[in-house]
Amino acid sequence: MNWAWTSKFDSGNCATIEQIKKPKFVTEKALQQLPSNENVYFNLYNDVDNGTSTFRSYFNVLLRPSEIQHDNDLNLVDFLSLKTPENQPTKNLIFIWKTPPKTTRLIQNLFRPTFRHLNPTKTRRDFYKYPTIHDKIIEELQILDERLIEVNELIPDYQQVPFCIASSAIQAVDDDDEKVVIFAISSQNLIQISYSAPYPLSHIYYKYIGIKYLSSSFPAKLRVIQQEIGRTVLNFPILKFSIISKPNTPKLALSCRVHPGETLSSFLVDSIVISAVNFKIPVLDNFQILLFPCLNPDGVYLGNYRSDSLSQNLNRSYDQFDEKRFPVNTALVRTLSVEKPLILIDFHNHASILNAVLFGNDILTDAKQQNLELQTPTNQQILNLFFCKTITTSAFFNTSKCDFSYGSMEKTDQKGEGFDGTLRVISHRVCKIPFSFTLETHYFCYETMGKKCFWHVHEMCQIGEEIARGVCSFMALRNLKDFLGKIIRFLPCGLEVKKRIKEGKVDEEGVSEQWRMEIKEAEEGRGFVQGNEK
Instruction: List alpha helices for 455-526, DSSP H.
Output: 457-502, 513-524
* Residue of 262, 440, 465, 521 marked active site: 440
Q: How far apart are alpha carbons 156 and 127 in whole angstroms?
A: 7
Q: Report the C-alpha dihedral over residues 240, 469, 383, 395, rounded to 10 degrees.
A: -110
Q: How many CB atoms lie within 10 A of CB 321?
A: 13
Closest among 236, 281, 330, 226 to 463, alpha carbons compared: 281
**54 close to 48: Cβ distance less than 8 angstroms:** yes
Q: How far apart are alpha carbons 101 and 181 in whole angstroms?
A: 10
SS3 378: helix
Query: Helix 201-215 to helix 131-144 angle, to the nearest 10 degrees?
Result: 120
440 is catalytic: yes
SS3 356: strand
Q: How far apart are alpha carbons 379 and 366 in whole angstroms?
A: 13
- Beta-carbon contacts of residue 155 (< 8 Å; ≥ 6 apart): 9, 118, 124, 192, 200
* CA distances from residue 218 to 211, 222, 224, 283 in whole angstroms, order as listed: 11, 6, 10, 17
Instruction: List alpha helices for 313-394, DSSP H.
Output: 327-339, 363-369, 375-391
DSSP 77-137: HHHHT----TTPPPEEEEEEESS-S-HHHHHHTT---EEEE--TT--HHHH-S-HHHHHHH
Q: How far apart are alpha carbons 191 and 65 in whole angstroms?
A: 10
Q: How far apart are alpha carbons 60 and 44 in whole angstroms?
A: 11
SS3 331: helix
The residues carrying an active-site annotation are: 440
